[in-house]
Amino acid sequence: MALKVGQKAPDFQLPNSEGQDIILNQNLPCIIYFYPKDFTPGCTAEACSFRDNHQVFKNLDIAVFGISKDSVDTHKRFKAEHQLMFELLSDTSGKVCKSYEALIPLVGLPKRVTYLIDKMGVIRAVYSDMFGATNHIKSMISQLKVE
């Protein structure tokens, strides 16, 4: 399961690919998407999908953050290799993934789940699909067109 629409999004502080701390409540509204692992086919397709549609979110002044348990260094390489214009955040402990109900039980890898969070820190849309990596971006764009 994932957190529900209407819930307050748990605040967090995580390092980005440059090692600088990002605080959720200082970057609202935003989309955060959790994903299993850098450089895997599905996660690469998802990241590139967000990259290719980044202007949609930029025009609406909505930040995008990808979160996995990968290290800052791995994120830095992944971001550079795929020319990502948004931040990747490193949750090596998995605490933030857990607070967003985005951890696969027993395995400990992040699930593929995406949240749209408004300027008040309230979850406005959720999309969870482990295998439909590129559907996450489509879902968020359609949610934004409804609002």
Rounded to 10 degrees, what is the CA torsion of 8, 100, 25, 120?
-30
* Catalytic residue, candidates 30, 43, 48, 97: 43
Is 43 considered catalytic here?
yes
Report yes or no: 78 and 84 within 8 Å, Cβ to Cβ.
yes
Catalytic amino acids?
43
